[in-house]
């Protein structure tokens, strides 16, 4: 596998929209003419890549694409932000990335309201189910889940079931707030139908049955399974500084973003206004 590219940190052109407390990847887009809204997590944000999925879709379709992706975001961060909902409802289409079920507050633990991968505190219920676990050393959700799985795979199933239930409920809540055409986007390294109950899968704990439950709430469900050759090449197409190396090794690279964008373009083309198509063709 190729070595990662150590370069100065990328300029993410950070920006804000409206009254939202969230910081998004820029450049900031105007909303006075037709646009598409991309709501999602790390893959839409494009950590360590120069041109993330929304930017690549914009280049191909010729319509502004608002990148509302947030690193390690869970469903709640979007559903509870009125600005994101307003931006979604002003778009030609809202593309909602399917994120993992681990980064949201549930009956077993609480997460940070904006940095959803941060484990804030266990509930009394979780302490009762796992009395032997010392949560004072746990700071991230995935670390917490890995520890619970190690201590008792049997009891851990109860936690997984709760996370799945909470995720489905929050996704329905989010989708009910979006009134424009909506596309769900799933991206991973393994087929969605392949059972993977371990804590290394992304999106974590989300399976076909859960997504099928959402089908009546959306116009399309688009899936992208990153190909084997792209997975092998990905490490050579991310950019990071020395202290970011560990995180960078777990991110999709530029080749994967290109695959994701290509799949989305085919499904989103019908939502591009005729005027935008004519303008793009004229400039070609």
In this predicted model, what pLDDT tens digit does every residue of 75-118 receive, in sequence order? Answer: 999 999 999 999 999 999 999 999 999 999 999 999 999 899 99
* CA separation for the pair 127, 252 (Å, rounded): 35
Q: Give me the count of residues in the chain.
A: 284
The mean pLDDT of 246-258, rounded to a whole number, is 75
What is the per-residue pLDDT for 3? 44
Higher pLDDT, 155 or 283: 155
Query: C-alpha 269: how far from its chain's center?
Result: 21
The mean pLDDT of 31-50, rounded to a whole number, is 95
Domains and CATH numbers, the chain: 5-103+171-283 (3.40.50)
The mean pLDDT of 146-166, rounded to a whole number, is 97
**Res 190 pLDDT > 90:** no
**Res 231 pLDDT > 50:** yes
Asked whether the beta carbons of 92 and 36 are under 8 A apart, the reply is yes
| Average pLDDT, rounded, for the chain | 88
What is the per-residue pLDDT for 253? 84
**Res 153 pLDDT > 60:** yes
The mean pLDDT of 115-131, rounded to a whole number, is 97
* 266-270: long-range contacts, CB 8 A cutoff, minimum separation 24: 267/183, 267/220, 267/222, 268/36, 268/57, 268/61, 268/93, 268/95, 268/183, 269/61
Higher pLDDT, 223 or 247: 223
What is the per-residue pLDDT for 186? 96
What is the per-residue pLDDT for 245? 53
Higher pLDDT, 48 or 230: 48
**Res 4 pLDDT > 70:** no
What is the per-residue pLDDT for 230? 59
**Confidence category of residue 197, pLDDT binned at 50, 70, 90:** low
pLDDT digits over 69-84, tens only? 999 999 999 999 999 9
The mean pLDDT of 157-163, rounded to a whole number, is 97
């Amino acid at each position: 596998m190729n070595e990662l590219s150590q370069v100065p940190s990328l300029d993410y052109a950070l920006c804000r929209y409206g009254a939202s407390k969230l910081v998004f990847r820029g450049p900031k887009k105007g909303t006075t003419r037709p646009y598409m809204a991309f709501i999602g997590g790390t893959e839409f944000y494009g950590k360590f890549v120069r041109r993330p999925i929304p930017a690549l879709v914009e280049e191909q379709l010729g319509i502004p694409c608002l990148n509302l992706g947030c690193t390690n975001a869970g469903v709640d961060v979007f559903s509870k932000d009125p600005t994101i909902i307003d931006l979604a409802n002003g778009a030609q289409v809202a593309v909602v990335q399917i994120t993992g079920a681990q980064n949201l507050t549930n009956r077993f633990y609480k997460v940070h309201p904006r940095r959803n991968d941060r484990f804030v505190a266990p509930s009394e219920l979780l302490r009762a189910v796992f009395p032997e676990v010392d949560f004072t050393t746990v700071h991230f959700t995935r670390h917490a889940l890995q520890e619970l799985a190690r201590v008792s795979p049997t009891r851990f199933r109860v936690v997984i079931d709760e996370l799945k239930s909470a995720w489905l409920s929050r996704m329905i809540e989010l989708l009910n707030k979006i009134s424009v055409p909506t596309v769900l986007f799933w991206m991973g390294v393994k087929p969605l139908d392949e059972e993977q109950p371990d804590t290394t899968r992304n999106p974590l704990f989300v399976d076909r049955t859960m997504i099928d439950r959402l089908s009546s709430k959306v116009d399309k469900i688009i899936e992208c399974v990153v190909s084997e050759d792209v997975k092998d090449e990905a490490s050579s197409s991310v950019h990071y500084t020395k202290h970011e190396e560990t995180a960078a090794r777990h991110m999709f690279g530029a080749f994967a973003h290109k695959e994701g964008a290509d799949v989305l373009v085919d499904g989103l083309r019908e939502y591009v206004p005729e005027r935008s198509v004519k303008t793009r063709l004229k400039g070609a």
